[in-house]
Structure 1
Amino acid sequence: MLVAMPTDPRLSRRAPAGAAVLREDVTDAIRSAVFEELAAVGFARMSIEGIARRAGVGKTAVYRRWKSKLALVLDLVSAVAAQGLPVPATGSLHGDVRALLEVASHALRHPLASRVIPDLLVEAARHPEISEAIKTALLDGRQGIAAVVVREAVARGELPEGSDPDRALDLIAGPLYWRLVVVRGDLPAGYLDDLAAVAVDAMRGGRAG
């Protein structure tokens, strides 16, 4: 999900021999500005000028790193996706599902993410490149985590053989995304506990029944 600025030094671009070294603090400032500009005006109205102004740099500093705002957003989404999410290891299916819901709820309630994600999903219908980048950022990594959670639950005897990780991910993330991003409702006390219990019950009963 698009929720935090990438700080992993492995995400930095290595300059070729003889090229000017790009300052990483400037790159980070531009990436932060992109999030803020997306949240403020959306992708369609976002401009390199606005990003540069918000980052406190010149347009040239942006163009040295990215050739267009589309390239910038694609790079940013990919960098965030590369950070990934930790795989829960609580020792129980309910604990793992509850941990995933906790992390996801914090991400989706982030002020920037709550505005940026819906806007980029709209733009994805117009730009296949954005669609693919968002699929990687929002789905591929989560599918891997769901596969681990399901595999471990099957090994413990908590889920039947053949349980579907994609279905598990739908049950875990779908209701939370609907409530926080689409409806934009609050989470009452105990909501995540209840949602975890319902998701686990559905995962246990739906595949076997």
Structure 2
Amino acid sequence: MTSEKRRTPAGAAVLRGDITRAIRRALMQELAAVGYGRLSIEAVARRAGVSKTAIYRRWNSKLDLVLETVVAAAGNKLPALDTGSLRSDLALLFQVVAVALGHPLASQIIPDLLAEAARNPTIDQTLQQLLRTKQQEICGRLISRAVERGELPAGTDPDAAVDLIVGPLYWRLAITRAPLTPSYLDLLVESVAAGLTADLAASRPQEVPAPR
């Protein structure tokens, strides 16, 4: 019996990973430069050095390209936030987020997409689902560990806690567009930790000074 080399079926699309990565990089650069509204497949193709066909073999539309690329970028794993204390976990989280959001591409793309989400229900739904998933994955575990360590009360509302953690970062990034400086992050750690632990401190019985 003669052995035959296995061949790729005729007509099957073989998508090269290097081209896909080049398109994604070009998309992020173009999106940062012109925003979603002025973004075009033609411009992304030119920047990536590929044909429009190469893009349309992978994504059906500009919207699909943007959403898939943003979701893939957001899916990058963060380091394990388990330092042994709530304040240290918050400090590490804020430092990682500050570095990520401080990247020139991120600082330009994220506010633009948030603004576009107000006009485009598909973008809004995708971003909302992505944000909820990432918040639960990161902040939800952070809160659960703090409860297990006794740093937060067992009845801590995870949604409210996530809002308290993420809210200041969103405000700083999308509204005031102010930098996330080290001094601001230090202050944020103390403020958020104090807010989260307020219920626990209030629930603990107050010591009555012994009569002298």
Aligned to 1:139: 132
1:159 aligns with 2:152: yes
Q: Structure 1 stretches (4+) deviating beyond 4 angstroms?
A: 15-18, 206-209
Distance in 2, matches of 1:41 and 1:179, equals 22
Distance in 1, matches of 2:134 and 2:179, equals 26
1:121 aligns with 2:95: no
Displacement after TM superposition at 1:139 (Å): 3.1
Aligned to 1:63: 56
Tell me how many residue pairs correspond in the alignment.
195
One-letter amino acid of the counterpart of residue 148, structure 1: R
1:39 aligns with 2:26: no
Unaligned runs of 5+ in 2: 1-7, 203-212
Aligned mate of 1:95, from 88, 94, 118: 88
Higher RCO (C-alpha under 8 Å, 6+ residues apart): 1
Question: How far does the alpha carbon of each residue in 1:114-155 deviate from its partner, in whole angstroms, 9 at most, with x for none?
Answer: 111111112212222211221233332122222211111111
Aligned to 2:68: 75
Aligned mate of 2:143, from 142, 150, 154: 150
Query: Residue 60 and residue 94 in structure 1: after superposition, are their counterparts in 2 closer, same or farther (change >3 A)?
Result: same
Query: Residue 48 and residue 16 in structure 1: after superposition, are their counterparts in 2 closer, same or farther (change >3 A)?
Result: farther
Distance in 2, matches of 1:86 and 1:165, equals 21
Distance in 1, matches of 2:114 and 2:127, equals 8
One-letter amino acid of the counterpart of residue 67, structure 2: L
Name the SS of the counterpart of 1:65 in structure 2.
coil
| TM-score relative to the length of structure 2 | 0.84
Question: How far does the alpha carbon of each residue in 1:58-80 deviate from its partner, in whole angstroms, 9 at most, with x for none?
Answer: 11111111111011112112222
Aligned to 1:7: none
Displacement after TM superposition at 1:22 (Å): 0.9
Aligned mate of 1:53, from 14, 35, 46: 46
Query: Residue 156 and residue 35 in structure 1: after superposition, are their counterparts in 2 closer, same or farther (change >3 A)?
Result: same
Name the SS of the counterpart of 2:123 in structure 1.
helix
Q: How does 1:170-185 map to 2 (within 5 A)?
A: 170-185=163-178
Contact 1:81 1:138 in 2 (8 A): no
Query: Residue 17 and residue 117 in structure 1: after superposition, are their counterparts in 2 closer, same or farther (change >3 A)?
Result: farther
Unaligned runs of 5+ in 1: 1-14
Kindly report the root-mean-square deviation, in angstroms, between the aligned alpha carbons of the 2 structures.
2.1
Aligned to 2:4: none
Distance in 2, matches of 1:206 and 1:157, equals 12
Aligned to 1:9: none
Query: Residue 28 and residue 154 in structure 1: after superposition, are their counterparts in 2 closer, same or farther (change >3 A)?
Result: same
